[in-house]
A = this chain, B = another copy of it.
């Protein structure tokens, strides 16, 4: 990875030119459209898709039969009871494709293998003192081999890519996490995406970890999501992502939605959100109070944390997020804000409730505040989101990839 911020790298062609569309592009678009609709709205008959897309019934018939032949779609039980020929709902075939997701974290490396629906088939987990490029590369390559071996030969050919979720500016961490500066500095000049791509037979994508988590919510999340929403993932540092027109928005540098730097007025002073609403804050407070913070990291469900300190942190975090939501909503009229993180479900619920409360305290003149809800992807959102990257790239329509000017 070079000095630039992490982001899904588009090939040079796409960035410096504006693609015209041709027949194959048209067909590809329509196929992605069908898959996107089925993913979002659930099983539908061919006639339903035709009505929804405005395509002719015949065209949809051809496209969906082809997708079925490709193993991406499967027939459901015919629906009887209405006049006319019974409709056959088509759904995504879970075994239509498989994806690797690699999460590079402060405390561990995680790899998941998911099916076409984002269901985790198998996973690997390795704890470390701090991440290094060498160990990450080794973990990823051996992990791919190990997890691939668990698939049937038929399914192995259906692996469509690997996504990497990596924190923003890893090298700046050193001071915050008490690790030798030069250990982290090596990340600055490594292009882990290219290194992995060179050794693997399928495409490799890379994205900021919080944006990836947002992608998991968008692609695999179970809630009814609006076209535009903002997403917060509370990890060692808080991060986020934004969805516009139903697609993850990354911006030129891939740094869009890196809401950690948002200025938050708190008690007369202005702080950055990252210094208010991160697990690092909770860890520090626990340590300062003489408690151990070690239980935070293995799994959110096994936290053993002083209630008073936790409640204070929840309130502080919620207040910070509420401020961030407010600022964000004045710029873009998000309909929803989703909150998730490496936190127990009870804590997530409490943060959502407190955030709603704090939001109500602000001056909302001229603003229609978004619905605050819990994320549905959970603690694993980052790894799942990594796996969603190759899926999105290959099988879903992307609002933001149509016209890019130099």
Known: A252-B226, A330-B263, A365-B272. A29 touches B33 (CB 8 A): no
> Is A327's CB under 8 angstroms from B263's CB?
yes
> Is A20's CB under 8 angstroms from B59's CB?
yes
> Is A246's CB under 8 angstroms from B405's CB?
yes
> Is B26's CB under 8 angstroms from A22's CB?
yes
Known: A40-B405, A330-B262. A30 touches B26 (CB 8 A): no
- Is A102 an interface residue when CB atoms closer than 8 A count as contact? no
> Is B272's CB under 8 angstroms from A366's CB?
yes
- Is A313 an interface residue when CB atoms closer than 8 A count as contact? no
> Is B263's CB under 8 angstroms from A362's CB?
yes
> Is B366's CB under 8 angstroms from A330's CB?
no
Report the minimal beta-carbon distance from A319 to chain B, rounded to whole angstroms. Answer: 13
Contact check: which of B23, B25, B363 meets A263 at CB < 8 Å? B363
- Is A331 an interface residue when CB atoms closer than 8 A count as contact? yes
Alpha-carbon gap, A36 to B265, bound state (A):
42
User: Looking across the interface, which residue of chain B has its beta carbon closest to that of A29?
Assistant: B21
Query: What interface size band does chain A fall in?
Result: 35 or more
- Is A404 an interface residue when CB atoms closer than 8 A count as contact? yes
Known: A261-B367, A404-B227. A17 touches B53 (CB 8 A): yes
- Is A54 an interface residue when CB atoms closer than 8 A count as contact? yes
Alpha-carbon gap, A262 to B270, bound state (A):
15
Contact check: which of B52, B169, B242, B405 meets A17 at CB < 8 Å? B52
Residues on B with C-beta less than 8 A from A242 are: 331-332
> Which listed segment binds B: A277-285, A379-387, A394-402?
A394-402
Alpha-carbon gap, A272 to B330, bound state (A):
10
> Is A331's CB under 8 angstroms from B332's CB?
yes
User: Looking across the interface, which residue of chain B has its beta carbon closest to that of A265?
Assistant: B265
3 smallest CB-CB distances across A and B, nearest first, come from A20-B55, A20-B53, A261-B366
Could you show 26 A-B contacts with beta carbons less than 8 Å apart? Answer: A17-B54, A20-B54, A20-B55, A21-B30, A22-B55, A23-B26, A36-B403, A228-B252, A230-B331, A242-B332, A244-B244, A245-B403, A246-B403, A246-B404, A249-B332, A252-B335, A253-B368, A256-B331, A262-B330, A263-B265, A263-B323, A263-B326, A263-B327, A327-B327, A331-B331, A331-B332
- A residues lining the B interface (CB < 8 Å): 13, 17-23, 25-26, 29-30, 33, 36-37, 40, 51-55, 59, 168-169, 226-228, 230, 242, 244-247, 249, 251-253, 255-263, 265, 268, 270, 272, 274, 323, 326-328, 330-333, 335, 362-363, 365-368, 397, 399-400, 402-405
